Amino acid sequence: MMSYLKIHWKQMLFTLLAYTCWSVLAFIFLVAFQGRELTIEQFGGDRIYINFGHSIIKGALVYYVLIFVFLIPSLQTRNWKKASFQIIIFFALLSVYEYLWAFSIGTPTQAESGHLTVKTFFLTLIMLDVLCILVSIFVAVLLTSYKMQQHKALLEKQKLQAELAAVKYQINPHFLFNSLSFIYTKTYKQNPEAAHAVQLLSEIMSYALEDWGDQGTVPLNVEVEQMKKVIEMNQIRFSKKLPIFFNEEINNCTTQIPILTLITIIENAFKHGDLSDENNKMTIEMKASASKINFYVCNKKKKSPKEPSKGIGLENVRQRLQQFYGVRHTFVTKEDENYYITEITINL
């Protein structure tokens, strides 16, 4: 119940405020049209505050249920038979409650004095119920139409963003790969190591930008090979002096994993890790079989100020693993004063 209130409290508050304003305006109109004393008598005389408060709460609840519980979901699903049945049952129960309130709980003196007969009560109730349904349908259609327009505007915005991204995708890789090819050609004879680094970067970028299907998954061995290139790139960057322990055991594992999963974790370790301590090597272990994958990375933390990071990479990896494997995987990050550990376990 509490979780429902947390999600729908704005709709409830909107309905309560709207119906309260309507009730106050209607009361003021009745006072102006037929006089204060008669209006107060119709609302129960001495019990006017109780009856008026009850009327507002009951009316707001009725409109909330009709609009947000029955009609709007029915407009979205087009399931009118279910909505009609629900509304009939709802008004049948409401009529019983209204009868008890009018003749037993709320203002029984009116019934006893003959001001309110059973026939008059039910005729009035039917007319009010029909009016209530018509108003609810109008509001539900209005709100649904407004929500659809918002959704359409959001889709248009996303479409424009996607088109812009597509243009960038068409221009940037073409320029990038041509530039890398030019740099590789110019540096191959003078500096073979730098040329090799350029070649590795070109292959990694090509891998990242390639279309791997709707799910964006790649064979595990392909991701591991690209991960090795990232490690090699960083070794070249630091003259092959980085203390890294790498262990790989892949046996009969042909599964697919989300692209850039392992590479993102490795890049994060290189970015934030202290790679100058020979006694505290960066540890990278990949163990995979037909039934299980375990990927483990441990690095010593930098003591210097951290590089700016929004943590988008790891969170993106977490979300994609959850989407692809669900409860069959764990993604654990641990850290203390000196070390940062990332471990992924996937049950196939």
Q: What separation in angstroms does the CA of 30 have from each of 34, 39, 130, 288? A: 6, 6, 21, 79
For residues 318 and 333, what is the distance between their CA atoms, to the nearest angstrom?
11
Is the CB of residue 261 less than 8 Å from the CB of residue 299? no
Question: pLDDT per residue over 231-275, tens digit each?
Answer: 998 888 887 788 999 999 999 888 999 988 999 999 989 988 888
What is the per-residue pLDDT for 171? 53
For residues 146 and 42, what is the distance between their CA atoms, to the nearest angstrom?
38
Question: pLDDT per residue over 21-57, tens digit each?
Answer: 988 888 888 888 888 888 777 776 777 788 788 888 9
Q: What separation in angstroms does the CA of 116 have from each of 30, 33, 54, 58, 130? A: 18, 21, 19, 20, 20
For residues 64 and 12, what is the distance between their CA atoms, to the nearest angstrom?
7
Closest-CA residue to 214 (of 324, 290, 292): 324
Backbone angles phi, psi at 52, to 5 degrees: -70, -45
Q: Which range has the worst mean pLDDT, 25-34, 102-111, 192-201, 216-225?
A: 102-111
Mean pLDDT of the chain: 83
User: Is the pLDDT score of 168 beyond 80?
Assistant: no
Cβ count near 306 (within 10 Å): 9
pTM: 0.51
For residues 182 and 186, what is the distance between their CA atoms, to the nearest angstrom?
6
What is the per-residue pLDDT for 113? 45
Cα torsion through 197, 202, 205, 211, rounded to 10: -150
Three-state DSSP at 300 gives strand
158 compared with 262, residue with greater pLDDT: 262
What is the per-residue pLDDT for 169? 57
User: Is the pLDDT score of 213 beyond 50?
Assistant: yes
For the chain, strand residue ranges (E) read 217-219, 244-250, 256-258, 282-288, 292-300, 329-335, 339-347
Cβ count near 296 (within 10 Å): 17
For residues 282 and 274, what is the distance between their CA atoms, to the nearest angstrom?
8
117 compared with 172, residue with greater pLDDT: 117
Is the CB of residue 234 less than 8 Å from the CB of residue 271? no
